[in-house]
Chains A and B, each alone.
Chain A
Amino acid sequence: MSAQADTAAARRSGRRRGARIGSGLASYAGFVPAIVLLGLCFLVPLGIIVCYSFWETIDYEVVHHWTFSNYTYFFSVSAYVSTMWATLWVAVVATARYVPQRLRVPLLVLVIVPFWTSYLLRVYSWLTILGDQGVLNRFLQWAGITNHPLGVFLYDRPAVILVLVYLYFPFGALTLYSSIDRFDWNQLRAAMDLGASPAQAIFRILVPQIKPGIITAIIFVFIPILGEYLTPQIVGGTGGVMIGNLIVNFFQEAEYTRGAAVSLLIAGFIVVLLLIFRKSLSAKEAYGA
């Protein structure tokens, strides 16, 4: 009799376990649209790009022939490599322009207002400032500093940097603002009182505490700038080419496999960057900031 009871109990618990697995699967059912969407729109194209980057283009035809030549080609042509370094350099300089400062509400509004205008419009508006017939050149001619329009303002790397700083400033400023706003400035006084110089106080006390904000700002600013295509296209000319333009050029010239390789290089770089940042971001949880 007790054996019967045991098996009954076992059957019951077995049913319960089965039910649990069933409900476990059911609870994942909600993810199906997301998984399908991600698979179709991200994983499949990514797979195609990966394949392309290891294939060859012969006479404008993609040949399914496995090779590393696209990657070696990229690094063998110095112009391309220097474009990559230039891209990094532009991104770093544009990122570094954010001076952490206590911005007040009116300033914040000024920072946010440009968001109400289209991105493209904001880039084009710089043409009317920096161009031959632009505000800057007209002012210089009016002031008698020059008698013909200067072309140095536009169509080169400085113009790209200027416009990118302008475009991405709000992202950096807003993320830094939120972490700096919480900072108790008496800490800097305390640090100096304890013998730290102003620079030591900032680097040992302020910077470690707003590090999450700094990293977030870098993620929001540096990474989108790496992929910038439109700004260098509009204001960069031949001297201001960034890697995004290079990729476009490859694809437009039907060099699909080379374009795919460069795309993956830059994507890989960003992934590595994010992994590094993730590690230092999790460190902040140690002191519950």
Chain B
Amino acid sequence: MTTVPTLAEQASPPTAAGIELRSVVKRYGTQTALRGLDLEIRDGEFFCLLGPSGCGKTTTLNLIGGFVGPTEGEIWIRGRRIDTLPPHKRPVNTVFQSYALFPHMTVFENVRFGLKMDHVPRDESVGRVRESLRLVGLEEFGERMPSQLSGGQQQRVAVARALVKRPAVLLLDEPLGALDLKLRQRLQIELTQIHRDVGTTFVYVTHDQEEAMSMADRIAVMNDGRIEHLGSPEEVYRRPASRFVADFIGDSNFFDATVTGDVAELTDGSRVGCAGGRSGPSTLMVRPEAITLATGPGSIAGRVLQTSFLGSYVRVAVETPAAEAPVVAALRELANVPAVGDEVSLSWSPGDGIVLEPPG
């Protein structure tokens, strides 16, 4: 009888961590890029480092790849300390944003380069290059020059070139950044498929929250050299650890509130249910799709400022004394959309009101 692993089992830490960063500090002169980072990435996981530019995500990737050295701390891969090794001695390969394909070599020679450097016998290397190109769907393109390929194809060659070395960890540095939206979405699906096929640990750096959400097993949201929240895409979205995380991932509405138990009192005096977790002056965060609008007066009163039809939902902006900025609600049902100027009342189920530390 096969058993489906329970949620508790899935969440339990694996025996050997794929990558481990132990209180890693990185300073560039007087600038501190990383402030004591502790991070464990599981073997075989698709891990995303997500954050705005300058948050330290690329520095973290370069530290694992060996292009920069840590000022303090240690980096381990599969129980082996690697922060003292030069890049070419680490069991890590990188896919660069600029592809960095070698323009004077064919696609086949590009992919074979890493094996040549390792002195893999010709017979074996040819087979592995073919296999790697098949994995990214470019078997037929071996004899082409990189300049004869489209951007998406070039990026897939870069992936094949890195994977042919069978690294313990594949680092991807915003690999889809230079591509247009449609192609990016297609390659996101392909990358997750490739990840499933090879089972290698992927560490993916991006500033695009949708990209991180759609591919990652777990996401580390970084800000100012620290990890603000580490969790599955769902956790990070539903229960963000800070106002920054809530703001960075998805749309969110913020209310100043005073929390007592599971009741929050807003600035207009209305009292609403919330998930609790802390008490006193707080920020209450509610996602647009968690908000229901009812006609007529209710606990939180407001007036509709704007409605926008966005295909799969209608976005309604509501002005209310309870919040500084207009509150945004996303309505799935087109039948109940209020008109601009309508008096409405806002509500949500208590579990959707996330209590966060107030700013400042």
Give the interface of A toward B (CB within 8 A).
184, 186-187, 189-197, 200, 204-205, 208-209, 287-289
Asked whether B161 lies within 8 Å of A194 as measured between CB atoms, the reply is yes
Question: With A195-B117, A196-B117 in contact, do A288 and B165 touch (Cβ < 8 Å)?
Answer: no
Question: With A192-B88, A195-B88 in contact, do A186 and B98 touch (Cβ < 8 Å)?
Answer: yes
What's the nearest-Cβ distance from chain B to residue A209, in Å?
Answer: 5
Asked whether B87 lies within 8 Å of A192 as measured between CB atoms, the reply is yes
Asked whether B88 lies within 8 Å of A287 as measured between CB atoms, the reply is no
How far apart sit A262 and B88, CA to CA, in the bound complex (Å)?
Answer: 52
Query: Which of B67, B102, B145 gathers the greatest number of chain A CB atoms within 10 Å?
Result: B102
Question: With A200-B117, A287-B147 in contact, do A193 and B104 touch (Cβ < 8 Å)?
Answer: no
Apart from A186-B98, A289-B103, what 12 extra A-B contacts exist at CB < 8 Å?
Answer: A186-B96, A187-B102, A189-B67, A189-B96, A193-B65, A195-B88, A195-B118, A197-B88, A287-B104, A287-B105, A288-B145, A289-B104
CB-CB contacts of B116-153 with A at 8 A, as 1s and 0s? 01100000000000000000000000000101000000
Chain B positions within 8 Å of A200 at CB level: 117
Asked whether B96 lies within 8 Å of A194 as measured between CB atoms, the reply is no
Q: Is B345 at the interface (CB under 8 A from chain A)?
A: no
Chain A positions within 8 Å of B147 at CB level: 287-288
Q: Is B114 at the interface (CB under 8 A from chain A)?
A: yes
How far apart sit A192 and B360, CA to CA, in the bound complex (Å)?
Answer: 44
Asked whether B104 lies within 8 Å of A194 as measured between CB atoms, the reply is no
Asked whether B102 lies within 8 Å of A205 as measured between CB atoms, the reply is yes
Asked whether B65 lies within 8 Å of A194 as measured between CB atoms, the reply is no
Chain A positions within 8 Å of B104 at CB level: 208-209, 287, 289
Question: With A184-B98, A186-B98 in contact, do A194 and B117 touch (Cβ < 8 Å)?
Answer: yes
Q: What interface size band does chain B fall in?
A: 20 to 34
Question: Chain A interface secondary structure, helix, strand, loop or mixed?
Answer: helix
Q: Is B100 at the interface (CB under 8 A from chain A)?
A: yes
Q: Is B113 at the interface (CB under 8 A from chain A)?
A: yes
Give the interface of B toward A (CB within 8 A).
65, 67, 86-88, 92-94, 96, 98, 100-105, 113-114, 117-118, 145, 147, 161-162, 165
Asked whether A193 lies within 8 Å of B113 as measured between CB atoms, the reply is no
Asked whether A193 lies within 8 Å of B145 as measured between CB atoms, the reply is no
Chain A positions within 8 Å of B100 at CB level: 184, 186-187, 189-190
Q: Which of A187, A194, A197, A205 contacts B114 (CB 8 A)?
A: A194
What's the nearest-Cβ distance from chain B to residue A199, in Å?
Answer: 11
Chain A positions within 8 Å of B118 at CB level: 195
How far apart sit A204 and B87, CA to CA, in the bound complex (Å)?
Answer: 17
How far apart sit A186 and B93, CA to CA, in the bound complex (Å)?
Answer: 14
* 21 examples of A-B residue contacts, CB within 8 angstroms: A184-B98, A186-B100, A187-B101, A189-B96, A190-B161, A193-B65, A193-B88, A193-B93, A194-B88, A194-B93, A194-B113, A194-B117, A194-B161, A195-B117, A196-B113, A204-B113, A208-B104, A287-B103, A287-B105, A287-B145, A287-B147
How far apart sit A123 and B145, CA to CA, in the bound complex (Å)?
Answer: 47
How far apart sit A189 and B92, CA to CA, in the bound complex (Å)?
Answer: 13
What's the nearest-Cβ distance from chain B to residue A212, in Å?
Answer: 11
